[in-house]
Amino acid sequence: MSTISRDEVARVAALARIDLRSDEVDRLAGELAVIVESIARVSQVATADVPATSHPLPLTNVFRADVPVPALPVADVLAAAPQQEDGRFLVPQILGEE
């Protein structure tokens, strides 16, 4: 089993342009070694007859069916508008264009 050396941590930090102090490099080397060991343990347990999963429980779509329905009449929609003109919403000009 490979371990993560402090030189590897320092090199990756330099590539990522992350400035780490010496104590941070030592701490991260230890933490990353634990992560690598855990992944190796899981890899030993995983077998070809166990399918890979992203979630331990089956998921189902909870959205309602997308059923087209008639749109609201324009008059009803514009009835709630503060201002309207020629069958459209009238809004203040904000870009100073003609």
Over residues 37-73, the pLDDT tens digits come to: 998 888 887 677 777 777 888 888 888 888 999 999 9
Among 65-74, 75-84, 89-98, the range scoring the smallest mean pLDDT is 89-98
The stretch 6-19 carries a mean pLDDT of 94
Q: Which fold has domain 6-45?
A: Histone, subunit A (1.10.20)
| Global confidence as pTM | 0.46
* One-letter-per-residue 3-state SS of 10-76: HHHHHHCCCCCCHHHHHHHHHHHHHHHHHHHHHHHHCCCCCCCCCCCCCCCCCCCCCCCCCCCCHHH
Share of the chain above pLDDT 70, in %: 95
Per-domain residue ranges of the chain:
6-45
| Residue 45 or 27, more confident | 27
